[in-house]
């Protein structure tokens, strides 16, 4: 066999690998912060398979951060818009990259491909790696959202509690070192007093600190963006999709009016 044949084989395999495995993931940052979108994209790309194509978007309009009940409702609309856009762009899976999983049910109903929420993905990962995890999040209100999600997803029995570090979402990236130290301090308290054996980071804006925290603390620190990307690849490569029956069954377009007309399909 000549060198040319060998090289040809390698190239051929490489290309077919690309074709077979290539997964287009549409990651939706439901707020309008371009900084956070960038950071989420970085985190996603760092851990994605080489052949995965990460598209990271945020709605043109909406809320600059998701910290309140009103923000959640507005973010859900942004998610719906971007699900539709991502579907048109040929996405193989979508990820809602905000820890409250805003609009996740609507997104699953709307999309023709799987949709993952980073909170659900992070809880599931924690359930595989540990027996009693803590969630560390930003603002106090987010602790109540998170408790609702833990119960909805059935992860409450393995969760020791939810703690807020009292930093607004957009402040997280202002002084990364300060953010790191704040998260670390809270995590050490949870380990010491609550006997937790893993930490879930409760905000997409903490994505870039997960690895460093894990090294520092010596226990798993789970960032939902990173694991949701892996789970999305897994589902797509197995051709698994959201059920077309039940609450996620697709629906006929409705004559939505006014501001919501673009959502009418």
Q: Which of residues 159-188 bind a copy of itself (CB under 8 A)?
A: none
Q: Is 5 in the site for a copy of itself (CB under 8 A)?
A: no
Nearer to a copy of itself, 183 or 248 (CB): 248
In the region spanning residues 139 to 158, those forming contacts with a copy of itself, defined by CB under 8 A, are: 140-141, 143-145, 148, 151-158
Nearer to a copy of itself, 175 or 195 (CB): 195
Q: Is 192 in the site for a copy of itself (CB under 8 A)?
A: no
**Among residues 39, 186, 207, 226, which is the contact residue for a copy of itself, using CB under 8 A?**
226
Q: Is 92 in the site for a copy of itself (CB under 8 A)?
A: no
Cβ of 34: how many Cβ atoms within 10 Å?
Answer: 11
- End-to-end Cα, the chain, rounded Å: 56
- Residues in the chain, how many? 265
Q: Is 100 in the site for a copy of itself (CB under 8 A)?
A: no
In the region spanning residues 241 to 260, those forming contacts with a copy of itself, defined by CB under 8 A, are: 241-249, 251, 254-260
Environment class of residue 11 by beta-carbon count within 10 Å: exposed (0-12), middle (13-18) or buried (19+)? Answer: exposed
- State how far the Cα of 253 lies from the Cα of 181, in Å rounded to an integer: 49
Residue span binding a copy of itself (CB under 8 A) among the ranges 33-41, 171-179, 201-209, 228-236: 228-236
- State how far the Cα of 54 lies from the Cα of 45, in Å rounded to an integer: 7
Query: Which residue's structure tokens are 């993952």?
Result: 116
Closest CB 72 distance from a copy of itself, rounded Å: 7
Q: Say if CB 206 and CB 183 are below 8 A apart.
A: yes
């Amino acid at each position: 066999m000549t060198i040319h044949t060998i090289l040809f084989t390698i190239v051929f395999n490489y290309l077919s690998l690309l074709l077979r495995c290539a997964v287009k993931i549409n990651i939706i940052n439901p707020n309008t912060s371009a900084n956070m979108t960038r950071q989420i994209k970085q985190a996603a790309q760092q851990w994605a398979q080489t052949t995965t194509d990460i598209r990271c978007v945020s709605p043109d309009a909406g809320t600059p951060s998701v910290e309140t009940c009103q923000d959640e409702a507005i973010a859900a609309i942004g998610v719906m818009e971007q699900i539709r856009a991502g579907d048109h762009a040929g996405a193989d899976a979508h990820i809602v990259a905000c820890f409250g999983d805003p609009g996740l049910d609507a997104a699953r109903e709307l999309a023709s491909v799987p949709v993952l929420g980073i909170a659900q993905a992070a809880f599931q990962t924690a359930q595989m790696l540990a027996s009693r995890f803590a969630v560390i999040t930003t603002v106090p209100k987010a602790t109540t959202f998170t408790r609702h999600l833990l119960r909805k997803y059935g992860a409450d029995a393995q969760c020791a509690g939810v703690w807020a570090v009292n930093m607004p979402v957009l402040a997280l990236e202002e002084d990364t070192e300060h953010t790191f130290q704040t998260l670390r301090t809270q995590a050490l308290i949870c380990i010491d007093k609550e006997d937790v054996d893993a930490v879930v980071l409760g905000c997409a804006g903490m994505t870039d600190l997960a690895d460093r925290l894990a090294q520092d603390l010596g226990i798993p620190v789970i960032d939902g963006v990173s694991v949701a990307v892996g789970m999305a690849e897994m589902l797509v490569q197995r051709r698994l999709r959201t059920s077309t029956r039940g609450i996620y069954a697709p629906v006929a377009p409705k004559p939505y009016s006014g501001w919501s007309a673009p959502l009418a399909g």
